[in-house]
C-alpha cells in the first residue's frame, strides 16, 4: 500500500485530531483573535484553530508546497471556513506579515533542524510577527507504539529511522526538537512550558483507521529496506500487509499509541 503524501497527511491528521484539538485548546486562544498556522500542510489544524477563535477570528496558513495549499483551500472551503482563513505560499523564515501583527502562531511538525535550516531562523521570524504577549505553540510528534508484541522489531525500525534522519541525530543536542524549550528561552519568550498529548487507538478499527495506521508505518519505516536485517524487514512486511494472514491491524486486540509534545511561550511584552 502506498498513498500519496497528501493523502497520508489527511488520514494521519484525522487519526490524531483529538490530540491536536486538546493541544490547541491548551493554548487558550481568545475569541476573535488573528493567528497563523506556519507550515499548514493540507490544513489539518487550520479548521481546529479557526473553530477555536470563533467566527470573528482569522487564521493565516502558510506553506511552501503548492499542492498542499491547493488541497488546504478546497478542504477549508468545503467545510465552510473560507471567510475565516487566508492561505499563502511562503517560507516560514520570511513570513508575509508586518512586525507585531498577530496574536498567536501555531507550528506543527515543521520546524525541523535539517541541513540548511536552522530553527533559530524560524523562531526569530515568529517573534517578529507576534504582538507583545502573543502566544507561540510548537507541536511535535515525538514517539509511537504501533507494533504491540514486537518490541525488538519496533526498536530496530526506530533505530534505523533515527539514524537516517538528520533532525533526530544532530551533533548539537540543543538543535534537537525535543530541546525546543531552549529555542524559546534563547529568543526571549516568557512563560515557556511543555505539555504532552496522547492518541490511543483501540479495536475495533475502521477501514479509515487501518489505512491511517498503515500510513504511519509507511511514513516512519516504509523506506528502511536495507537498513535493518532482511529477517526484520520480512517480518515487518508480513505485519503491515493487509493481504497477509499475520496483518497486525486485523488482530482483534490490536492497540496503538502516538505521543506529541507542545512547547509554548509568549512573546515578551517589551521587544
Ligand X SMILES: C[S@@+](CC[C@H](N)C(=O)[O-])C[C@H]1O[C@@H](n2cnc3c(N)ncnc32)[C@H](O)[C@@H]1O
Q: With respect to ligand X, which residue has the nearer C-beta, 140 or 236?
A: 140
What's the min distance (Å) between Cβ of 36 and ligand X?
A: 11
Q: Near ligand X by CB under 6 A, which window of 40-48, 79-87, 123-131, 149-157?
A: 40-48
User: What HEC string does 178-202 produce?
Assistant: HHHHHHHHHCCCEEEEEEEEEEEEE
Q: With respect to ligand X, which residue has the nearer C-beta, 7 or 65?
A: 65
If one counts every other C-beta atom within 10 angstroms of the C-beta of residue 111, the result is: 26
Q: With respect to ligand X, which residue has the nearer C-beta, 62 or 180?
A: 62
Report the C-alpha gap between 59 and 141 in whole angstroms: 22
**144 lines the binding site for ligand X (CB under 6 A):** no
Opening angle at CA 212, ends 206 and 217, nearest 5:
130
What's the min distance (Å) between Cβ of 236 and ligand X?
A: 22
**7 lines the binding site for ligand X (CB under 6 A):** no
Opening angle at CA 18, ends 108 and 14, nearest 5:
75
Report the C-alpha gap between 251 and 267 in whole angstroms: 48
- Sheet containing strand 190-202, strands side by side: 85-89, 58-63, 34-38, 102-108, 130-145, 255-266, 190-202
**261 lines the binding site for ligand X (CB under 6 A):** no
What's the min distance (Å) between Cβ of 76 and ligand X?
A: 13
If one counts every other C-beta atom within 10 angstroms of the C-beta of residue 62, the result is: 23
**39 lines the binding site for ligand X (CB under 6 A):** yes
Q: Which of 44, 84, 144, 261 binds ligand X (CB under 6 A)?
A: 44
**64 lines the binding site for ligand X (CB under 6 A):** yes
What's the min distance (Å) between Cβ of 94 and ligand X?
A: 9
Q: Near ligand X by CB under 6 A, which window of 33-41, 52-60, 199-207, 230-238?
A: 33-41
Site string for ligand X, 88-127 (x = CB under 6 A): ---xx---------------xxx-----------------
**13 lines the binding site for ligand X (CB under 6 A):** yes
Say how many residues touch ligand X, by CB under 6 A.
17
Name the grid cell of 245.
Answer: 494472514
**63 lines the binding site for ligand X (CB under 6 A):** yes
Q: Which residue is nearest to ligand X (CB)?
A: 41
- Exposed / middle / buried, residue 5 (Cβ in 10 Å: 0-12, 13-18, 19+): middle
Q: Which of 41, 113, 134, 214 binds ligand X (CB under 6 A)?
A: 41
Opening angle at CA 108, ends 254 and 156, nearest 5:
45
C-alpha to C-alpha distances, 16 to 5, 31, 128, 144, 183, nearest whole angstrom: 16, 24, 30, 12, 26
Report the C-alpha gap between 248 and 92 in whole angstroms: 39
Binding site for ligand X (CB under 6 A): 9, 13, 39-41, 44-45, 62-65, 68, 91-92, 108-110
Amino acid at each position: 500500500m502506498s498513498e500519496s503524501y497528501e493523502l497520508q497527511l489527511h488520514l494521519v491528521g484525522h487519526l490524531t485530531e483529538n490530540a491536536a484539538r486538546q493541544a490547541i485548546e491548551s493554548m487558550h486562544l481568545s475569541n476573535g483573535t488573528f493567528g497563523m498556522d506556519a507550515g499548514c500542510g493540507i490544513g489539518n489544524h487550520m479548521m481546529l484553530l479557526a473553530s477555536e477563535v470563533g467566527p470573528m477570528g482569522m487564521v493565516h496558513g502558510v506553506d511552501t508546497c503548492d499542492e498542499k495549499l491547493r488541497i488546504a483551500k478546497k478542504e477549508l472551503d468545503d467545510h465552510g471556513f473560507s471567510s475565516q482563513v487566508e492561505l499563502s505560499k511562503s517560507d516560514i523564515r520570511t513570513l508575509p506579515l508586518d512586525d507585531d501583527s498577530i496574536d498567536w502562531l501555531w507550528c506543527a511538525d515543521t520546524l525541523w533542524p535539517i541541513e540548511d535550516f536552522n530553527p533559530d531562523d524560524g523562531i526569530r521570524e515568529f517573534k517578529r510577527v507576534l504582538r507583545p504577549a502573543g502566544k507561540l505553540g510548537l507541536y511535535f510528534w515525538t514517539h509511537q507504539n504501533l507494533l504491540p508484541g514486537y518490541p525488538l522489531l519496533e526498536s530496530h525500525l526506530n533505530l534505523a529511522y533515527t539514524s537516517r534522519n538528520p533532525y533526530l541525530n544532530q551533533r548539537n543536542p540543543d538543535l534537537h526538537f525535543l530541546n525546543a524549550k531552549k529555542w524559546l528561552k534563547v529568543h526571549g519568550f516568557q512563560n515557556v512550558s511543555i505539555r504532552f498529548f496522547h492518541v490511543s487507538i483501540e479495536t475495533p478499527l475502521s477501514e479509515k483507521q487501518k489505512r491511517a495506521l498503515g500510513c504511519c508505518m509507511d511514513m516512519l519505516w516504509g523506506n528502511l529496506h536495507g537498513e535493518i536485517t532482511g529477517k526484520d524487514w520480512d517480518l515487518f512486511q508480513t505485519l503491515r500487509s493487509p493481504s497477509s494472514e499475520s496483518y497486525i491491524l486485523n488482530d482483534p486486540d490490536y492497540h496503538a499509541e502516538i505521543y506529541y509534545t507542545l512547547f509554548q511561550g509568549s512573546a515578551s511584552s517589551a521587544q
